[in-house]
Amino acid sequence: MASVTLDNVTKAYGDEIAVEDMNLEIRDGEFLTLVGPSGCGKSTTMETIAGLTQPTEGSVYIGGRDVTDLPPKDRGIAMVFQNIALFPHMDVYDNISFGLRLRKYDQEEIEKRVDRAAEIVQLGGMMDRMPEEMSGGQRQRVAIARAIVRQPDVFLMDEPLANLDAELRIHMRTQLQRLHRELDTTIIYVTHDQAQAMTMSDRVAVIDNGHLQQVDPPLTCYNAPDNLFVASFIGSPAMNFFHGAVTDDGFGSEFMNLGFDPEEIGATPGKDATLGIRPEDVYLKRDREEATVPSETIKAHVDVLEPMGDEVFTYLLLEEDVETSAEGRGEGQLLLSLDPQTDIEEGQKVEVVFDRHEAHLFDSASEEAIAHSLA
């Protein structure tokens, strides 16, 4: 068990900067998830921690020890890979015991540890199978057993569930959480799937474009995103945004106006700002009591309904002639999620309110959050 610290880590491939000046402190025994879109530098960050790639600048500490120049095998880490990476020419037992055999443990100790690891991931009786004879989930469990058998200080998991089917992925998600509780080891987990990040982690590190955006518990990232990127990345479906400016008495934009005292929340009148409202904080007018501080009524009509079973994603157009683009939700569109029992149909005119208590205001220029409640 150990803490992991990244100190001003920069990694460049030629002119391409994958990670820039990353400072990250992962506490002992913590489950931390690195999350971000593809190519944001999260895998590079993990490879730097593992020692599979050398940082261009900066240092990596594991358990207070500077491991920047140590090879992966001497860092006290174990890793589970996205493509599972079992050795195809070895059976399950040989795969799991590979690291122990390299470290010259005695036979008895190896057997004891392999048995224990196999028990934790429920792999009993499969010791002489070859990887190609196993299903995806079984292989993944072998890979996890191979990682835990050495009792490493830190676990690194690089999208370990990405290649599994949806059902298995959700099952393994709970398995991993149980495993973390049982082993109490520091786990660093890389994923682009925010559902995994939200459900499993103690803290989430949101990365975009090689920069750390926010490191906080999942619910903090959700309820109080530090900036526009975190607000748009965390939460599914994504937040509604309205680009406008702070006025003397609130926020104004083409489709949405909101009155508040700018001074009270520290906003400067005249500055460009973006208003963010999560789909789950928008209500039909008749349900307005559900909002803590309901806003004024907004008139709109229903564009598209997407029934998901437990909820219906309802896309509203705030004016008749709003342009809809394939790129995503544009200005003048509003997404809300409704109860599937709601009596609503496409084309219908509706009146909605949103919860001012849950509205976010961001500075458009710096993209930093100004306020997380406009009540």
Q: Does 71 bind other proteins (CB under 8 A)?
A: yes
At closest approach, how far in Å is the CB of 99 from other proteins?
4
- Binding segment toward other proteins, per CB under 8 A, in 74-82, 108-116, 117-125, 205-213: 74-82
- Binding segment toward other proteins, per CB under 8 A, in 36-44, 45-53, 194-202, 229-237: 45-53
SS3 content of the chain, % helix, strand, coil (to 5): 30, 35, 40
Residue (86 or 239) nearer to other proteins, CB: 86
- Binding segment toward other proteins, per CB under 8 A, in 16-24, 71-79, 265-273, 318-326: 71-79
Residue (140 or 253) nearer to other proteins, CB: 140
At closest approach, how far in Å is the CB of 73 from other proteins?
4
Q: Does 72 bind other proteins (CB under 8 A)?
A: yes
Rg of the chain over Cα atoms, rounded to whole angstroms, equals 24
Residue (70 or 305) nearer to other proteins, CB: 70
For 102, the enclosing helix (H) or strand (E) is: helix 92-102
220-224 contacts at long range (C-beta below 8 A, 24 or more positions apart): 222/198, 223/358, 223/372, 224/369, 224/372
- Binding segment toward other proteins, per CB under 8 A, in 69-77, 212-220, 250-258, 269-277: 69-77
Residue (104 or 349) nearer to other proteins, CB: 104
At closest approach, how far in Å is the CB of 142 from other proteins?
12
| Beta-strand relationship, 31-35 and 186-191 | parallel
Interacting positions 237-296 with other proteins (CB under 8 A): none
Check the CA dihedral 71-76-80-84 and report its sign.
positive
Contacts of 370 (CB under 8 A, 6+ apart): 265, 266, 267, 273, 361, 362, 363
Interacting positions 150-169 with other proteins (CB under 8 A): 150, 156
At closest approach, how far in Å is the CB of 207 from other proteins?
20
Q: Does 16 bind other proteins (CB under 8 A)?
A: no
Residue (89 or 181) nearer to other proteins, CB: 89
What whole-number distance in Å separates Cα of residue 188 and Cα of residue 185? 10
Please confirm whether the linkage preceding 225 is cis (ω < 30° from 0).
no
DSSP 281: G
At closest approach, how far in Å is the CB of 19 from other proteins?
18
**Of the candidate residues 1, 52, 162, 265, the single one contacting other proteins (CB under 8 A):** 52
Interacting positions 75-134 with other proteins (CB under 8 A): 77-79, 81-89, 98-99, 102-103
At closest approach, how far in Å is the CB of 42 from other proteins?
16
What whole-number distance in Å separates Cα of residue 187 and Cα of residue 171? 18
At closest approach, how far in Å is the CB of 18 from other proteins?
15
At closest approach, how far in Å is the CB of 67 from other proteins?
13
Q: Does 54 bind other proteins (CB under 8 A)?
A: no
Q: Reduced to 3 states, what is the DSSP secondary structure of residue 117?
A: helix
How far are the Cα atoms of 317, 323, 331 from residue 334, in angstroms, in the given order?
A: 6, 13, 8
CA-based nearest residue to 241, from 157, 303, 334:
334
Q: Are 266 and 223 in contact (CB under 8 A)?
A: no
Query: DSSP strand E in 117-202: where?
Result: 154-158, 186-191
Listing DSSP states for 146-159 in one string gives HHHTT--SEEEEES
The residue type at 144? I
**Of the candidate residues 11, 42, 139, 146, the single one contacting other proteins (CB under 8 A):** 146
- Binding segment toward other proteins, per CB under 8 A, in 47-55, 222-230, 269-277, 357-365: 47-55
Residue (2 or 84) nearer to other proteins, CB: 84
Residue (47 or 208) nearer to other proteins, CB: 47
At closest approach, how far in Å is the CB of 115 from other proteins?
19
Buried b (16+ CB within 10 A) or exposed e, 297-325: ebebebbeeeeeeebbebbbbbeeebeee
Binding site for other proteins (CB under 8 A): 47, 50-52, 71-73, 77-79, 81-89, 98-99, 102-103, 146, 150, 156
